[in-house]
Amino acid sequence: METIKGIAVSPGIAIGTAVRLAESDGHIAFRTVDPDEVPAEIRRVDEAFAASARELKDLRTRTAARAGEAAAAIFDFHMGLLADRTLVQPIHDDIARERVAAEYAVSENFRKLADRLRATGSEMFVQKAADVVDLENRVLARLTGGAIGKISRASGPVVVIGHELTPSQAADLHRAHAVAFATDAGGLTGHTSILARALGMPAVVGCMHVSTDVEDGDQVIVDGDAGVVIVRPAPAVVERYRAAAAQGEQRRRALRNVAKEPSVTLDGVTIELLGNIEFPEEIEAVFTNGGSGTGLYRTEFLHLTSPTTPTEEDHFDAYRRALELSRGAPLVIRTLDLGADKFTQDHLADPERNPFLGLRSIRYCLRHPQLFKTQLRAILRASALGPIKVMFPLVSSVMELRQTHMIINDLREELEDDGIPFDPALATGIMVETPAAALMTRVFANEVSFVSIGTNDLIQYTLAVDRGNEQVASLYSAANPAVLTLVKNVVRAARHAGIGASLCGEVAGNPLFTPLLIGFGLRSLSMSPVQIPVVKRVVRAIDIERCETLARKVGSFDSDRQVLSYLRDELRRIDPEALVSAGAD
Ligand code: PEP
Ligand code: MG
């Protein structure tokens, strides 16, 4: 049994047999065939090429009708390539001489071509390399019968495992009755995630190695609530998940009703419930779950899902789209939080020994000013179109903030000179994710208009516990009194200074903590959209006085165990149903 952690993008639990998507991701295994199978293998290649050509012709005609001739022309390169003897001949030769299987010969030769194109260094050829990979996937899908074929032949529920998935693949898989999917890539596009939610397919993305760790036919559990994929689970685990799936479905039905209600306590105080998103398209999910805007837009996903460095226009398009989808609701954009776990160290010439304490987040951006300026200029331009706020991750010194403000001021002048509109009053804020920022909130408050507490990181830096290290996972606790003291003090300092305070770590979406955070004085919480309904349920069942009493009591405890057990008892009294949705902490 193996548990793989990823990003939960579509809720629900599904259990099924794995079908791996044929992908051009380096996973076509080397396989040879018997000499008498060679002619049949060559025929398979020709048939796959011919079928792909027919498919492309059809796609071209339909695209021309829908989106015009210019859009349809992108398929001409694919069709031309398929017809080119210099591509198919070496594939035939490899099968005949080396007796390799058709899939392997196809994959090898397409890869060589893509590498040659990339090696030219020319922007145009690098883009063509992506077309080659795309075409390779199409031919491979034909050769293997594709996932669709395998799914239709499967007797029970099927979970699709792949490197990445396009929205149209997700739709096709759903039509073929796949029950869930899990992918290596971190989200590919928001559209695929949105589609998965719309189709009600549990999904976990950003699993890094799931496509190599899972074999066709493995039993797999996709937990779209926790963002976890369990491969070859023990029978007892399957039983537990079956029960959880049934209960979860029942709960989700009941919670859907509360999404439409206002987020107001029994004594009439509004608690702002916002969503954390990685892609603009997720904003729809914030609203359908009953959120009133976006409290954390993790823009680094723009970087992580794009093969090339996003341009200012790429940033601007994403922010404009986010504003359109927000329809006037708040939108807090966090600048690039690259580094540490969000940036593979592998390809760095000199990997950091301690990446979580290294060049990440705002430090990374300040070290790469062009990258930072590109993003900040796009944010400023977008600020002319709607209500945006911008915040900076992992600030630990006021000098970082001042440097950033200086860059923004320079960009403002630049835009003014160029006659490009922006909001001169664009609000800036910091994420409080380091003990340094938490202890000095009072000082930071002189220079920003809001703070947002990022408990995910604040816990790890306060307790010196790597948030991704299983060995010390039991020490990683939001209920640790040191963490809670910092949170309480940040809220108090922000209130004294008269600036806004929100909390956007995972704990914001845990109903166990809702009364406590409100008792600390927080009136704004930002969380994974699917958590909004359950938190709203708790908000509607409590009053401020009760929360403040509870917070005072928690302040007298000296261990996380005591805190948790008290919070559980309280939530059991407030709303036993919500307790079921509460995590460990
Ligand atoms: C946090 O650290 O609490 C946070 C919200 O940021 P991220 O999870 O993206 O590090
Ligand atoms: Mg963080």
pLDDT at res. 188: 38
For residue 94, the CA-to-ligand 1 centroid distance in Å is: 49
The sign of the torsion formed by the CA atoms of 450, 302, 325, 7 equals: negative
pLDDT, averaged in runs of 10, over the chain (585 residues)? 86 91 61 88 91 84 73 79 88 94 90 85 75 84 71 82 73 75 66 66 88 91 92 95 88 83 98 91 89 94 71 95 97 91 56 87 95 98 97 98 98 98 97 98 98 95 83 87 98 98 93 98 93 94 98 97 97 89 54
Q: Which two tokens stand for residue 374?
A: 């590109």
Q: How far is the CA of 259 from the CAs of 9, 158, 196, 468, 518, in angstroms? A: 18, 31, 20, 32, 19
For residue 450, the CA-to-ligand 2 centroid distance in Å is: 16
Closest CA to 290 of 308, 309, 272: 272
Inter-residue contact 322 to 296 (CB < 8 Å): no
Residue 505 Cβ contacting ligand 1 at under 6 Å: yes
Inter-residue contact 450 to 429 (CB < 8 Å): yes
For residue 335, the CA-to-ligand 1 centroid distance in Å is: 12
SS3 23: coil
pLDDT at res. 60: 81
Inter-residue contact 22 to 147 (CB < 8 Å): yes
Inter-residue contact 295 to 275 (CB < 8 Å): yes
Q: Which two tokens stand for residue 296?
A: 């954390």
Amino acid at 395: V
Residue nearest to atom 6 of ligand 1 (CA): 454
Domain coordinates in residue numbering, the chain = 23-145, 263-581
Homologous superfamily (CATH) of 23-145 is PtsI, HPr-binding domain (1.10.274.10)
Residue 12 Cβ contacting ligand 1 at under 6 Å: no
Hunting for tokens 């949105």 — which residue is that?
194
Residue in 92, 163, 315, 504 annotated catalytic = 504
User: Which atom of ligand 1 is closest in space to residue 296's alpha carbon?
Assistant: 5
For residue 86, the CA-to-ligand 2 centroid distance in Å is: 50
Hunting for tokens 């208009």 — which residue is that?
449
CATH code linked to domain 263-581? 3.20.20.60
Quickly list DSSP for 526-551.
EE-GGGHHHHHHHHTT--HHHHHHHH
HEC sequence for 224-286: CCCCEEEECCCHHHHHHHHHHHHHHHHHHHHHHHHCCCCCECCCCCECEEEEEECCHHHHHHH
Inter-residue contact 312 to 414 (CB < 8 Å): no
How many CB atoms neighbour CB 386 within 10 A?
Answer: 18
Residue nearest to atom 4 of ligand 1 (CA): 454
**504 alpha carbon, closest ligand:** 1
Active site residue 191: yes
Nearest-angstrom CA–CA distance, 520 and 271: 13
Residue nearest to atom 3 of ligand 1 (CA): 454
For residue 18, the CA-to-ligand 1 centroid distance in Å is: 31
Residue 462 Cβ contacting ligand 1 at under 6 Å: no
pLDDT at res. 581: 67
For the chain, the distance separating the N- and C-terminal CA atoms, rounded to the nearest angstrom, is 25
pLDDT at res. 146: 67
pLDDT at res. 190: 46
Tell which phi-psi region holds residue 242, choosing left (phi > 0), alpha (psi between -120 and 50) or beta.
Answer: alpha
Active site residue 547: no
How many CB atoms neighbour CB 547 within 10 A?
Answer: 25
Name the pairing type of β-strands 228-231 and 219-223. antiparallel
* Enclosing H/E stretch for 70: helix 69-72
Residue nearest to atom 7 of ligand 1 (CA): 456
Is the pTM for the entire model greater than 0.85?
no
Hunting for tokens 């928001």 — which residue is that?
190
Residue 300 Cβ contacting ligand 1 at under 6 Å: no
Residue nearest to atom 9 of ligand 1 (CA): 298
pLDDT at res. 205: 87
Q: How far is the CA of 477 from the CAs of 55, 447, 467, 502, in angstroms? A: 53, 31, 10, 19
